[in-house]
Amino acid sequence: MIAIGLWLESSLIFSWQATGLLLFQTLYSIDLIGTLITGGHLIGGTEYMFDPHVPLWVRLVSLFHVIVPLLLLWGVWRLGYDRRGWKYQTALTWIVVPINYFWRPQFNVNWARGLFFTQQRLVPGPVYLLAYLIIVPMAVYWPTHLILQRWANHLPQRHEVVPPSQA
């Protein structure tokens, strides 16, 4: 989606992706950098990056996670913030996470069955799924939306540069 946002120069796509990814990709980066500095995982989720059994090329490709927050913020700075982004992210979550819940449940993609890739057993699965679909948009997407909106409103206005031949 970010590549499409870059190609189309779409503030909606950047805003959409930023509301859904900014927090999680930033936490990933903090854990990775924190582990390099302290030797211990501050949050978790990057253990595979230090596992010699995981091919080096996989670990190197995974470094894109560190670039994503900067790229998203740059895109919002460059193109502006579209207030519809968090709604699109919420709608996408309501489609994708139930699919992840039912299809190939052993992989627990997007934490559809429990946090941190573990199966939760505290409540029935459908109750967890419903709670996830309500809590994540309200606790992650909405606050990220508010922060990005406020940040974007305080950015200096960017003016389109008109080439001399078109002036």
Q: What are phi and psi of 4, to 5 degrees?
A: -65, -40
* Residue-level pLDDT at 123: 86
* Residue-level pLDDT at 157: 62
DSSP string over 33-98: HHHHHHSS-SS-S-GGGG-TTS-HHHHHHTTHHHHHHHHHHHHHHHH---TTHHHHHHHHHHHHHH
Q: Is 80 inside any structural domain?
A: yes
Count of domains in the chain? 1
Q: Is 48 inside any structural domain?
A: yes
Which tops the pLDDT comparison, 103 or 144?
A: 144
Q: What is the pLDDT of residues 80-120, one digit of tens each?
A: 999 999 999 999 999 999 998 888 877 777 777 877 667 77
* Residue-level pLDDT at 144: 97
Please state the rounded mean pLDDT for residues 157-167.
Answer: 52
Query: Encoding tokens for residue 130?
Result: 């419903």
Q: Is 100 inside any structural domain?
A: yes
pLDDT at 161 > cutoff 50: no
Q: Which residue has the tokens 């909106």?
A: 149
Rounded to an integer, what is the distance from CA 1 to the centroid of its chain? 11
Which tops the pLDDT comparison, 47 or 165?
A: 47
Q: Is 135 inside any structural domain?
A: yes
Q: What is the pLDDT of residues 28-81, one digit of tens each?
A: 999 999 999 999 888 888 888 999 999 999 999 999 999 999 999 999 999 999
* Residue-level pLDDT at 162: 46
Q: Is 166 inside any structural domain?
A: no
Give residue 123's domain range.
2-157
Q: Is 167 inside any structural domain?
A: no
pLDDT at 132 > cutoff 90: yes
* 16-39 exposure pattern, b = at least 16 Cβ within 10 A, e = fewer: bbbbbbbbbbbbbbbbbeebeeee
* Residue-level pLDDT at 26: 95
Q: Is 103 inside any structural domain?
A: yes
Q: What is the pLDDT of residues 7-19, one digit of tens each?
A: 898 999 999 999 9
* Residue-level pLDDT at 164: 56
Binned at pLDDT 50, 70 and 90, residue 159 comes out as: very low
Q: Is 163 inside any structural domain?
A: no
